[in-house]
Homo-oligomer: A and B are copies of this chain.
Amino acid sequence: MPEYKAPLRDIKFVTEEVLDINNHYANLAGAEEATPDMVAAILEEGAKFAERVLSPLNRIGDEQGCTFKDGEVTTPEGFKEAYQQYVEGGWPSLSHEESVGGQGLPESLGMMVTEMIATSNWSWSMYPGLSHGAMNTLEQHGTDEQKQTYLTKLVTGEWTGTMCLTEPHCGTDLGMLKTKAEPNSDGSYAISGTKIFISAGEHDMADNIVHIVLARLPDAPAGTKGISLFIVPKFNVNETGDVADRNAVSCGSIEHKMGIHGNATCVMNFDGAKGFLIGPPNRGLNCMFTFMNTARLGTALQGLAHAEWAYQNSVVYAKDRLQMRALSGAKSPDKAADPIIVHPDVRRMLLTQRAFAEGGRALIHYSSLLVDKTTKGSDEEKAEAEELLSLLTPIAKAFLTETGFESANQGLQVFGGHGFIAEWGMEQNVRDSRISMLYEGTTGIQALDLLGRKVLMTQGATLRRFTKIIHKFCKEHKGDKRFKGYINALSKLNSEWGDVTLKIGMKAMKNKEEVGAASFDYCMYSGYVVLAYFWARMAVTAQVKLDEGSSEQGFYTAKLQTATFYYERILPRTRGHVETMLSGADNLLAMEEDNFLFLG
């Protein structure tokens, strides 16, 4: 019953009209082929694939889930065939280097396609999603030979990849990692240990699986500085580059979990499996950061995905479901009752989803233009883009997944009791979205990364890089009466952001625990400010279009109305966050551990 339609008009609005992507591509090295026509054609094909192939498999994926038998995982009906179509369509190679068989198109164009694929069927999208992470890691840190052997097969999609980090006793705290890598005489390593929560660790969709694995060399220093990165293929690869005998890595079981049933979450056992070092010894975590940033942005996208999906489906229901009359009198007197979209509280729930989905879309694609610059920009552009991304990634990951889950729940709530029933699909969307606040670093970890590492450790320099951009935008539009409401509010928030940072920084000098005590509220606050910036930009673009006499009056008017909703009904949440983040660590730390529970 639920379905996905690719929001092509909105993607165009954000990327072309607001972010001026055509100009961006025109000035980006190696992006010559990303002409407006080419972009449009790719998006249209991607939309078809998402709508026609993946969206119909979303419910099936949840209902059937993955099955595990004798070390093998069977994916839900249709998943394998969809993957074949994906490979035949050349999608895996879209934004990878031509030297390894890629199409060399910008990462940001890949992100637009990924948005559609991810929203139509998140569980399915994780298989190519993990591959993409593995590919980026190999692209940056692999030797030519490793690229030739593994990357070329990942780029065609014949093989898929995974990232093996977590172990039973450590997720966040990778310094505790135990998996061992002992040198073999032939220059390879014997990898032994157990990894858990390995998404797409085993499945039936591709001929081989390339695991990127964190492990310790025998003489490695303790903690995070003694971790190295390895390639461990499911099947060893022979000299002609073909799949040979089975390597000593196997799936021990798959998890029974709340959602994303269509994706296999595997326990992976490495029993002296043959592996190959990527990058320098003991620098695995640094190499992994490449992947982690991409992965975190990819998970941020999950927030947008579930918000968009919830919004589309709950609007359709709200227009259709008849229940009660509007308080100011019947709006559809010819019907037995009014459609529930007339009720202000239903609209509140719909517009909350819309504000987060469309605001999130702007943040995601803005960030992915920065990603383009980190690989293809000038040195100066690269440095700026990296700094901005280091700030925006934890915000996007934490804030968009928290608001994505909220939106998924609002979408369910619009359906009333029916929202709780599986066949309507809204509860699956909630369950699937719940993981996004946990993996790739929980919300708490993102918040600590943002406030501790990104903001305070740079003495606010990284933050100022972004607040200057907001400041410049506000200055440009300050005199314009049409934007007064947005610009005044945004301006104030922007200075307040600096002020609260300074206050927390001062406190933290006396007591480091103040960072952890303020971080969550600081991160959410930052997210609201960032989205306020994008909503102001979207409002300016829309207003200009309207004033130019655009024929799409409804489209642009709705943008302005959503911006107003965001400023008047969402931004007030910042008030609570400011008060809370400045309330100090004592109210959290005072309680003795023994006094948390008194249960006889």
0/1 per residue, A456-467, Cβ < 8 Å to B? 000000000000
Give the CA-CA distance A554 to B166 in the complex, in Å: 37
Give the CA-CA distance A171 to B356 in the complex, in Å: 29
Judged by a CB distance under 8 angstroms, whether A593 is at the interface is yes
Q: Is the CB of B572 within 8 A of A573?
A: no
Judged by a CB distance under 8 angstroms, whether A290 is at the interface is no
Q: Is the CB of A257 within 8 A of B420?
A: yes
Judged by a CB distance under 8 angstroms, whether A575 is at the interface is yes
Judged by a CB distance under 8 angstroms, whether A351 is at the interface is yes
Q: Is the CB of B417 within 8 A of A512?
A: no
Interface-side segment among A105-113, A275-283, A337-345, A364-372: A337-345
Judged by a CB distance under 8 angstroms, whether A419 is at the interface is yes
Q: Is the CB of B256 within 8 A of A423?
A: yes
Closest Cβ–Cβ distance, residue A359 to chain B (whole Å): 15
Interface residues on A, range: 35 or more
Closest Cβ–Cβ distance, residue A462 to chain B (whole Å): 19
Q: Interface on chain A toward B: helix, strand, loop, or mixed SS?
A: helix
Interface-side segment among A119-127, A132-140, A579-587: A579-587
Q: Is the CB of B583 within 8 A of A568?
A: yes
Residues of B close to A420: CB separation below 8 A: 257-259, 434-435, 438
Partner pick for A354 among B417, B437, B516, B596, CB 8 A cutoff: B596
Q: Which of A259, A344, A568, A578 has the most CB of B within 10 A?
A: A344
Q: Is the CB of B176 within 8 A of A591?
A: no
Residues of B close to A350: CB separation below 8 A: 596
Judged by a CB distance under 8 angstroms, whether A243 is at the interface is no
Residues of B close to A558: CB separation below 8 A: 591-592, 595-596, 598
Q: Is the CB of B171 within 8 A of A416?
A: yes
Give the CA-CA distance A412 to B443 in the complex, in Å: 12
Give the CA-CA distance A564 to B561 in the complex, in Å: 39
Give the CA-CA distance A516 to B587 in the complex, in Å: 36
Give the CA-CA distance A532 to B524 in the complex, in Å: 24
Q: Who on chain B is nearest to A590 by CB? A: B561
Q: Is the CB of A348 within 8 A of B517?
A: yes
Interface-side segment among A6-14, A88-96, A373-381: A6-14
Partner pick for A598 among B9, B344, B590, CB 8 A cutoff: B9
Judged by a CB distance under 8 angstroms, whether A574 is at the interface is yes
Q: Is the CB of A565 within 8 A of B587?
A: yes
Q: Is the CB of B568 within 8 A of A587?
A: yes
Residues of A within 8 A of B (CB): 5-10, 166, 169-173, 176, 197, 255-259, 312, 315-316, 319, 322-324, 326-328, 336-337, 339, 341, 343-351, 354, 405, 409, 412-413, 416-417, 419-423, 427, 430-431, 434-435, 437-439, 442-444, 447-448, 452, 511-513, 515-517, 519-520, 554-555, 557-558, 561-562, 564-565, 568-569, 572-580, 583-585, 587-600
* 12 A-B pairs whose Cβ atoms sit less than 8 Å apart in the complex: A5-B599, A255-B421, A315-B597, A327-B512, A344-B513, A344-B585, A345-B516, A345-B520, A354-B596, A413-B437, A558-B596, A572-B578
Given contacts A10-B598, A351-B591, A574-B576, 16 further A-B contacts (CB under 8 A): A9-B599, A176-B337, A315-B597, A328-B513, A344-B513, A345-B444, A345-B517, A345-B519, A347-B591, A349-B444, A350-B596, A413-B443, A417-B435, A420-B434, A431-B431, A572-B575
